[in-house]
Structure formats: C-alpha cells, structure tokens
Structure 1
C-alpha cells in the first residue's frame, strides 16, 4: 500500500479516537525529527541550539507542557547538541512530562528569568542562566563559542553576550529541519486531519439559522478536545457581511438563512500536528445566490489552478509568477499568501503573490515531502460577502496530493 493510501486509511478508521497509529510509528517520528534537527546543526556548523519555542521543543523531543502558556512565559527550554546530548530544563516539578517519551534526555530544573518569575531580579537570574549555558557548551563543545537560539528575550541575549557567546538564528534552522516530512510523520498528520474533519462535519450538521458564530465554532473545539487534540490557533469564522474582508474572528452575531459562512480551522490536533482547512457554506445549506456562486467558483478555480502548478524543483518565484491571475476587483482583499508550509503549525515557506514579490516575497525551491496549504480568499473591495477556501496537501514527485478530503460545494460551480 502506498504512503498516501495508508494515511487515508488511518484517517477513515480514526472515528472515536487517535489510538489507531500503526505500531512503532510515533517512535520513528521522534527519531526522525531529532535527527533532522541535528543534521541542520551540522549543516550550519553550529554545535547546539537552545529551544524556547514550545513547537520546536515538541518537534525535537515530542514533549508538551502547557504549550500556549509556555509560548508566552519562557519557563522551559531544551538544548540539543549536534554531536552530543539533549539536555532539557523543565518547569517546576514537571519532570514527569518526559516519562513516556523515548527521546533520551538529561532532565534538569529550569532557571526562570522572565519578569513574572524573577521580578526585579530578572537580570541577575538571566546571568545565572547564561553561566549555566556557557558551562554546558564548554562541557560538550569546548572549542565552540556559538549557539543557536530560536526565541530569546533581551536580558538573555545580553547575558549570553557577556559570556562571550555568539548567537545564531535558531528559528531559521528549525524551519529548515521541519520542512520535509517522513512517511511516518504523514500518517500522524493525517490522523490529526481526520479529527479536524470530524469537527468540520459536526459544524456542517449543526449549522442552522438563528445560532451564533461562536456556537458553531464551539463544535470544532468539542471534537478536537474530545479526540485528543490540543488547541486552535485562531478564531477565524465569519458569516454574512463579516466574511468581507477576511480575517474577522467569530462573534456573537446571529447567522441568517442563506448568507455565507466561512472558516479557517488552524487546528492543532492529536500529537501536536496542525490541520489547516477552510470551507465556505450557506447558512441552512440552501442554494447560493448567483453572486455567491460566482465568488465560490472564482475561489475554487484559484485553489485548483494553483494546486495543479506546484512541482518539486519549481522555485517559489516561478510558482508565484505562474499562479492564477486574480481579477483586479478581488485583488485588494486577497489573502496574505498563495500557499504556506504546514506541520505542527504553519511553517516555512510562505509564498507571496507576484505583485507583492518586491516587498514581501523570497525565493526557494519546492521539494518532494513538503506539506503545504494552498490558499484562496475571494471578495470584492466593498462587496457584501466573500469566500475562503484552503486545502492541505502533500507534495510528491507527481505534484500535490490532497491530505484534507472534506468535500467542496462542487454543485455550486
């Protein structure tokens, strides 16, 4: 059975939970991801990286501890050496989060120097932290005075500089490590997408005139949490006139029969993988008006055209230049990018529209094994409504293969 067939089969079976991963898959995912990080460290000639970003820590070690909270409060961190140990500095009395993880790590208590924990002693605690990092570097890479860091507040930067340590951009390094997915990773990602699509199906079934946007959005959260998911990064669901322009978060607005409702899941599901899917319906699932149908047809055409273009070896610029030619009446309200990477969350790359290339574009190359989200938003400037569509795909040697399979409204076309 092909990898694509396997991941679709896993998703179709994952109806009441996410315990159906084939034996050994998660352990192989952990080994692969840590190896990718260490390979990038060697390629960049950097001896080690300090990770504070909870998503990077999850990628390298598959440990999770209050992901949203620690994203705002830098209180746990992990040091990964290219040719040495993984040393984890865990938050107060939380060593147990490593109990069921196969990644071998030395566990220590963290030195917290953020203002919430250290108050006016933040600078002195940061110096203590920096001395500990310097000692670790001397122990495992004695000839080196450089280290990569993904996220660091100013006090920590100053303190490491006082220790004579040069800092390297660790976020760029981690984005490169995360961009190519293993076959096992795809199986785990598809399990998360399956949970998300159960939430979308629940929303579809529940949608009715008279309910609020927030009531509808709650159905997606319900399925995600019930089936082992973790959080949702945004609240992008809008109805009626709030669908234009896009990027309006869900509200207590009561939805009316026949108007459009659009959403973007941005859902971090089981095992920490993201399912990023957008669909647009009518409230009450009634036949759309001609203007609504025309908006939908344009969004669907953009999505399908751009999906058909991408091939391994194509540059980001070439794809941007050849992408669907958006009519000028829609361009002002265009989505922020044509496509972006996806993994544990939104990832590198983000592909700009060609008209935005000078100010917002950067080049690179598509590679087989990338997972991507192809984006479309269609709504006229000053128009009443808009349509948001997004498809999550795997890039193979033959092009884009959908990972998200929730149906489009093709009878509207």
Structure 2
C-alpha cells in the first residue's frame, strides 16, 4: 500500500499553514496544543493498558491530531477516515484523494488511504470488504503492538467490529480514555476556547441586533450561522433558536415561523467554532417593542438565579454527587420541563462530565470529581408544563485551582432582569 511522508516542508497554502496564521490564531501556539492533546490521549491509554486506539469520530481525530476533513460528512459515514494511535505511532487513514490535507502536522507520522468499509461503498460485498479491512488493521496493530494487543474502538459498523474481534485482538471501548483526556484543558488550549467564544459572541451580538417582529426564525438564525462561518468557525451543531410559544417546551428547532411582537426568543449557540472548540452558552431575548411582561421577567429571573447559584457552588475537588445535592432546587411548577442536565463538560463538543439534578441522580447520575482544567457549561431552562413561553440561559466556565473563571461574556438582558 502506498504511504506518504508528511514531515516534508509544507506549502504556505496548506491547511495547517492557513489555520496557524489565521487572525483567531494570534498568540496561540497551536503546535503545542496539538501535541498536548495527542499526549493526553496516550497517557490515558497507558493508564488503562490499552495498546492502541482506532478513532473514527472526526472530533476525536481532530483532538488527537489537529487534522480536520469534512467533519459533518464523516460523522455519518464511518469509517470514511480513521486514526490508529499507539504509544509511539500515529497513522491517519484519510478519505480517498484527501491525503494531502494532513501535510505538516507533526502529530501524524504517516497517512494512508482509508479503506471505506460501508454498504454504500461496497454494496452486497460489504461483509467481504469488512473482513479485508479487519485483516489489514489487525496485522498493522500486531506489527506495532504485538500479538493479542488491546485495541480501543469507537463508532464502527457492527460487521467491522465483529470481523476485527475474529482476528484475535482484545477489543475495548475507546470512549473512556478519549473523554478523560479531553476533559482537562491546557493553558494554551484555553486560548482556543476563548477565541471561539469571542467569535461566537460577535455572532450572537449580530443576531440580537437583527431581531425584529415580522421576520422568520430561520432568517434570524442564519445571522448567527453566517457570522460564525465568516470568522472561520466550523458549523452550528444544532438549530436551537425558537420563539414565542415554541420556546416551551425546550428543544424545538428553528422553523419558518414569523416572530411576533413582544415574544421571547430563546437561543442555545451550540457552535463548533474557531479551532473546532465548542462555544456553548444560551440567552433569551425579547422581541419588543414593549417592555417584557411580569410573567416573562419571572421566568428569566428564575433561570438567571439557577445559573448563578450553580456557578457559585462549583469548585475543584467537589464530587458530582455533592454538586447534585447542593444545586439549585427547581420549583415544582417547572420541574417537569427542566433541562435534562444541570451542567456538562465542554471542549470540542459537549463532553464528560455530565452533572445531573438532585432528583435525577439516583437513576442517571454517576460520581466523579470536578477538576481544575475542566470547562463546564451551567444550564437552565425554566418553563411551566403547559406554559406559553420559556427561558433558556447557560454560562460556560473554567474550573481553576481555587474556584471558577467565567468564560462566556455575552451580557444578560437588563430589561428581563428588572423586578
């Protein structure tokens, strides 16, 4: 099989050269960020006696190497591209014709063309294709790690995983080492987080300024998306902008509905922004032209109170269970429509840990420790079951050695906070 050496001098037009000198990269040592993340994964592998991981989630590939290619396409077409990472070797299997995209990345030792083992690529020959893929991969893992190696896997076809297991490797889930690696950010990595947040806040500012009754939700949401892309962000992961009666219950995606006067407009950014980092904060606006009603202000006040209270209790060394016990007590009137999480980790997407409400902890929660270097999104949704409107608020914070640091800086709505 043909292979390419990617440590040759790169062109100024290469993907890495353009990204490293982009405006949002100023003052960031992106090479150090990439090496830190790769080494975090390797350390978590060693701690769990995993010899190699085979990553197909494009976000995890980007985390471990810094490379990106057709992320949304790759999410649903696994394994279109995949990464084999061992303690000492990093081999990227890139989508057909795309091998050149990894040029210049010192986190990638070698690039090979991917063997796409999917039904759309192989048709009725899929089983044979999967067996051939598994034999090739098992031989490579054995060559690099020895016979009977332990291989962590994620997001592969069932047939591909079964074929690989038949080759004599010990298969385990790769999620734990990768998620635990991603959970702790370096100081240099946090510069990427902040660059992404600042760009997203500019986009949200443009969206807020564009609000007017008579336009559609989709037209308003497109303002955010356009600004994110203009600033070299990647994409909006969800379509969570809704208005008026569509703000309750939550999770109603943007639609072709006309915004009416004096309605609430709720937004969860969910932006995979600059450098691939997740900008995840929520705000609720008022369409005007009149002042918000007392009922609207009450919803907003409670959501703001929940976020502020839960930010106030976060501290390093706290257990997930202790956080749940001390978190804001949701009034019974709003409990049925509560947001499914109290808080969650945030990095290149939403990630470990999930922090649950007290009432949900016995069934859904798990314990762990809040650690310095984690970035956490503190959530609130307040809307009565059967109510006419709801409010979504959320802040993104960094856990430090002594407490927290607020990362998301977009202001709250003074008119909605008035008593």
Question: Structure 1 length as normaliser, TM-score?
Answer: 0.94
The answer (yes or no) to whether the contact 1:151–1:171 under 8 Å persists in 2 is no
- 2:254 paired residue among 250, 255, 280: 250
**Pairing 1:76–2:81 present:** yes
Q: Which moved more, 1:92-101 or 1:386-395?
A: 92-101
The answer (yes or no) to whether the contact 2:102–2:108 under 8 Å persists in 1 is no
Offset at 1:290?
0.3
Q: Quick one: distance in 1 between partners of 2:403 and 2:308? A: 12
**Counterpart position of 1:189:** 193
**Counterpart position of 1:175:** 179
Q: Quick one: distance in 2 between partners of 1:394 and 1:88? A: 32
**Counterpart position of 1:382:** 386
SS in 1 for 2:215: coil
| Match runs of 1:23-34 below 5 Å | 23=27, 25-34=29-38
Offset at 1:105?
1.9
**Counterpart position of 2:45:** 41
The answer (yes or no) to whether the contact 2:200–2:228 under 8 Å persists in 1 is yes
**Pairing 1:295–2:299 present:** yes
Unaligned 5+ residue runs, structure 1?
1-16
**Pairing 1:150–2:154 present:** yes
| Match runs of 1:275-286 below 5 Å | 275-284=279-288, 286=290
| Match runs of 1:182-221 below 5 Å | 182-221=186-225
Aligned in 2, Cα 1:38/1:286: closer, same or farther, shift over 3 Å?
farther
- 1:312 paired residue among 303, 313, 316: 316
Offset at 1:20?
4.4
Instruction: Please list the CA deviations of residues 175-230 of structure 1 after superposition, one character each: whole Å capped at 9, or x if unmatched.
Output: 01100000011001111111111110000110001011111100010111111011
**Pairing 1:94–2:64 present:** no
SS in 2 for 1:58: helix
Superposition RMSD on alpha carbons, in Å? 1.3
Offset at 1:144?
3.7
Q: Quick one: distance in 2 between partners of 1:94 and 1:141? A: 27
**Counterpart position of 1:239:** 243
**Pairing 1:406–2:410 present:** yes
Q: Which moved more, 1:235-244 or 1:277-286?
A: 277-286
**Counterpart position of 1:62:** 66
Offset at 1:157?
1.2
Point out 4+ residue stretches in structure 1 off by more than 6 angstroms: none
Q: Quick one: distance in 1 between partners of 2:289 and 2:409? A: 19
Offset at 1:80?
0.3
Q: Quick one: distance in 2 between partners of 1:286 and 1:341? A: 37
Q: Quick one: distance in 2 between partners of 1:207 and 1:163? A: 58
The answer (yes or no) to whether the contact 1:367–1:395 under 8 Å persists in 2 is yes
Offset at 1:398?
2.4
Aligned in 2, Cα 1:39/1:286: closer, same or farther, shift over 3 Å?
farther
Q: Quick one: distance in 2 between partners of 1:50 and 1:303? A: 38
Instruction: Please list the CA deviations of residues 70-127 of structure 1 after superposition, one character each: whole Å capped at 9, or x if unmatched.
Output: 1100111010002x21011111010111024232321111111111111111111111
Offset at 1:18?
5.1
Q: Which moved more, 1:103-112 or 1:171-180?
A: 103-112
Q: Quick one: distance in 2 between partners of 1:260 and 1:23? A: 39
Unaligned 5+ residue runs, structure 2?
1-20
Question: Structure 2 length as normaliser, TM-score?
Answer: 0.92
The answer (yes or no) to whether the contact 2:28–2:192 under 8 Å persists in 1 is no
- 2:55 paired residue among 51, 56, 60: 51
Aligned in 2, Cα 1:294/1:18: closer, same or farther, shift over 3 Å?
farther
**Pairing 1:261–2:261 present:** no
The answer (yes or no) to whether the contact 2:51–2:150 under 8 Å persists in 1 is yes
Q: Which moved more, 1:119-128 or 1:49-58?
A: 119-128
Q: Quick one: distance in 2 between partners of 1:94 and 1:268? A: 22
**Counterpart position of 2:108:** 104
The answer (yes or no) to whether the contact 2:148–2:168 under 8 Å persists in 1 is no
SS in 2 for 1:220: helix
